[in-house]
Amino acid sequence: MADAKVIPFDDDRSRGSAQRTSRRRSVPRRQGDPVAGVKALPGQQDGAQQGGDPGVAPPEPSGQGQGHRQGPRSGGGWDRRVAGGLAFLRRRLTGEYEVDDFGYDEELTDQVLMSMLRPFYEKYFRVEVKGVENIPADGGALIVANHSGTLPLDGLMMQVAVHDNHPHGRHLRLLAADLVFMLPVINELARKAGHTLACAEDAERLLERGELVGVMPEGFKGIGKPFSERYKLQRFGRGGFVSTALRTGSPIVPCSIVGAEEIYPMIGNAKTLARVLGVPYFPITPTFPWLGPLGAVPLPTKWTIQFGEPIPTDGYPPEAAEDPMLMFNLTDQVREQIQHSLYKLLVQRRSVFF
């Protein structure tokens, strides 16, 4: 991937028939059992069917009645979880699992990574999802979203939102900046979660394979903008994502995320320190770096993620991907749709935290 051509997703570096016959054996009739062909009395029928004494009420069915304690099968759910966990560990230790040519590990993502992100999604940020029906049930599609929050947590929450709310449980493959794949540990986790470098070749391959691809064209300009410019979209580069969608005929689904701007209110940027560390910006917030590691804890804001109506691209001719005016118009259309949805969601929001 070192020789992959990077497209400007952002200005910084930017992708049965036989049945078994049962045998019968005669069982001597016990005293009190009903004779064949004779209907049992109302008070004796249930007791006779249970093989118990007539007139004695049969035991309540399992799981019914107040104060009923379930039998040995009540722990079946836990048994299955433990067995599934042990089987998962065995497959990881023996290497009996699959990854695709991008490094995506679907089993690890579903059982581990999603489980780690879900508490933040459900309990901490309390994400509300709208318009998930606008995401296609199958086939490739490009989800384009705004980017904010100082740290790129919005992409991860969007990934959980698609997987947990889409009727078909689709997976979102994010296109990330090259800095993500230079960081130890983060690099491996990103690959395992299905993300890849924001380059044209990778993006087109994923879309042609029928994958959902997510991109945030603002890039570092979006997540690194000051708090005073919150919810004001930055420039969407030169429309590289539109060119990719046109080449593959994939629909573009605009996505608006509200709530991420306030998790780390960026009131300053130590540019000199950022150059020394080799990062695009070094954020200064009301809590970081003053409170040390505690200042890196995001604020528990209330999030809303809305997916807009898809913009089709399959009606354009193949050469449309090389038309700069068309790419500019489509890019502007996507950007305006996201910005309009952001303003609408902000008006509807009661509070930043509730």
pLDDT in tens, 287-326: 999 999 999 999 999 999 999 999 999 999 988 988 999 9
pLDDT at 93: 85
Q: How confident is the model at residue 33 (pLDDT cuts 50, 70, 90)?
A: very low
Task: Report how far residue 303's alpha carbon sits from residue 301's, in angstroms, rounded to the nearest whole number.
Answer: 6
Residue partners of 3: CB distance under 8 A and separation at least 6: none
Q: What tokens were used for 123?
A: 């309990």
What is the residue-averaged pLDDT of the chain?
Answer: 82
Nearest residue to 352 (alpha-carbon basis) of 291, 289, 301, 297: 301
pLDDT at 226: 94
The residues that bridge with 253 in the sheet, in sequence order, are 143
pLDDT at 269: 94
pLDDT (mean) for 126-132: 97
Residues in the chain: 354
Q: How confident is the model at residue 75 (pLDDT cuts 50, 70, 90)?
A: very low
pLDDT at 76: 57
Residue partners of 342: CB distance under 8 A and separation at least 6: 146, 231, 233, 256, 258
Q: Does residue 81 carry a pLDDT above 60?
A: yes
pLDDT (mean) for 157-167: 96
Q: What tokens were used for 40?
A: 């049992």
pLDDT (mean) for 76-87: 81
pLDDT tens-digit readout, 225-273 = 999 999 999 999 778 899 999 999 999 999 999 999 999 999 999 999 9
Question: Residue 255: CA atoms inside 13 Å, Cβ hemisphere, count?
Answer: 34
CB 259 within 8 A of CB 304: yes
Nearest residue to 338 (alpha-carbon basis) of 218, 247, 203, 210: 218
Task: Report how far residue 166's alpha carbon sits from residue 160's, in angstroms, rounded to the nearest whole number.
Answer: 10
Which of 13-22, 87-96, 109-118, 313-322 is most confident? 109-118
